[in-house]
Amino acid sequence: MSDTLQTTLDDGVLSLTFNRPQKKNAFTGEMYDAAAWALNDADTNDAVRVVLLTGAGGAFTAGNDLKDFLENPPTGEDSPVFRFLRALAHHSRPVVAGVDGVAVGIGTTLLLHCDYVVATERAVFSMPFVNLGLSPEGASSVLLPRVAGMALASELLMFGEPFDAPTALRAGIINQVVPEASLAEVIQKRAAALAAKPVESLRLTKRLLREPLRPTVDEALSREGTLFVQRLGSSEAREAFNAFLSKKK
For the chain, the domains span 5-182
Which ranges in the chain belong to alpha helices (H)? 29-42, 66-71, 80-89, 106-109, 140-148, 150-159, 165-170, 183-195, 199-210, 214-232, 235-248
- The CA–CA distances, whole Å, from 169 to 117, 119, 120, 177 equal 10, 9, 11, 8
Coil, strand or helix: which one is 247? helix
**Residue 200: is it exposed, middle or buried by C-beta count within 10 angstroms (0-12/13-18/19+)?**
exposed
pLDDT digits (tens, 9 = 90+) for 81-97: 999 999 999 999 999 99
Which architecture, in CATH terms, is 5-182? Alpha-Beta Complex (3.90)
What is the pTM assigned to this prediction?
0.96
Q: Give which of 167, 162, 156, 87 is closest to 119, Cα–Cα.
A: 167
Contacts of 180 (CB under 8 A, 6+ apart): 100, 120, 121, 122
Coil, strand or helix: which one is 72? coil
What is the DSSP code string of 133-160? T----TTHHHHHHHHH-HHHHHHHHHH-
pLDDT in tens, the chain (249 residues): 579 999 999 999 999 999 999 999 999 999 999 999 999 999 999 999 999 999 999 999 999 998 888 888 888 888 999 999 999 999 999 999 999 999 999 999 999 999 999 999 999 999 999 999 999 999 999 999 999 999 999 999 999 999 999 999 999 999 999 999 999 999 999 999 999 999 999 999 999 999 999 999 999 999 999 999 999 999 999 899 888 878 764
pLDDT digits (tens, 9 = 90+) for 57-85: 999 999 999 888 888 888 888 899 999 99
pLDDT digits (tens, 9 = 90+) for 183-200: 999 999 999 999 999 999
